[in-house]
Amino acid sequence: MRRLRYRHLLTALPLLLLAPLAGCGDDEEPRAAMTVRVLVRDINIRPEGVECAGTGPYTYFHNRAAYRVVDGDGATLAEGELPAGKSVRTFEEDLEVPRIPTFCEFAVPVSVAERDAYRLIVDDRRPIPLTRDDSEGPALVAVVPS
């Protein structure tokens, strides 16, 4: 009896190994590695360069918050969870204090197909338009209004 069961398993094994490759033909669109950079202008008082999350009306910006990058038609191009943000100063003046007004910036690596328009959806909220910025490497950028 055991041999019969193993023989069926060995017959099915090649099919199981090929199953993940189904639909991965040459007709898949080429994708480009980019970074989605989101600046949440929450103006919070904290040290510069520390992990952060959005505050006030932006508390849905936090590590592990679900995000999607969609095209102009709403088709999902990338999805996942946000990493922790990093606090960045709101202005260049040195206040000579350890805690300063900051924004919370998120950097999310994605791989997306070429499109005319991109939008970011975080926590199923209103889509945020993304603009291209190749000045510091390929990036899509969003600034959340304060």
Tell me what pLDDT residue 7 has.
39
117-129: per-residue pLDDT in tens? 999 999 999 999 9
Tell me what pLDDT residue 92 has.
87
Q: Which CATH class is domain 23-144?
A: mainly beta
Global confidence as pTM: 0.77
Domain range annotation of the chain: 23-144
Kindly state the average pLDDT of the residues 114-139.
93
The gap from C-alpha 67 to its chain's centroid, in whole angstroms, comes to 6
3-state SS, 20-78, equals HHCCCCCCCCCEEEEEEEEEEEEEEEECCCCEECCCHHHCCCCCCCEEEEEECCCCEEE
18-68: per-residue pLDDT in tens? 333 334 444 578 999 999 999 999 999 999 999 999 999 999 999 999 999
